[in-house]
Amino acid sequence: MYQIIKRFKIKTLEGEEIKFEPKQFNKGQIYGGLLFGLGWAITGACPGPLFAQIGTGTTVIFITLLSAIAGTWVYGKFRERLPH
């Protein structure tokens, strides 16, 4: 999508140019990605299908839901200490 916006110089609905700010690499992104990917691989559920699996009545998915809630809580708890 980034390349399409850049190549065709797509603008916002208000006609403003879309600008992308370069992001600084942080080694925490590697650790976070590995942790997220590991959880996804073990449970077979990313945040979207998680709720669909709950809707099917699969009871074991509640462990995944509780893990997702715990992960969100941990992030909120340590957010201020994480690199920006």
How many C-beta atoms lie closer than 10 Å to residue 45's C-beta? 20
* Euclidean distance between CA atoms 83 and 30, whole angstroms: 13
- pLDDT greater than 90 at residue 76: yes
Tokens describing residue 50: 């998680």
Span 31-48, pLDDT tens digits: 888 988 888 888 777 777
- pLDDT greater than 90 at residue 60: no
pTM, full prediction: 0.53
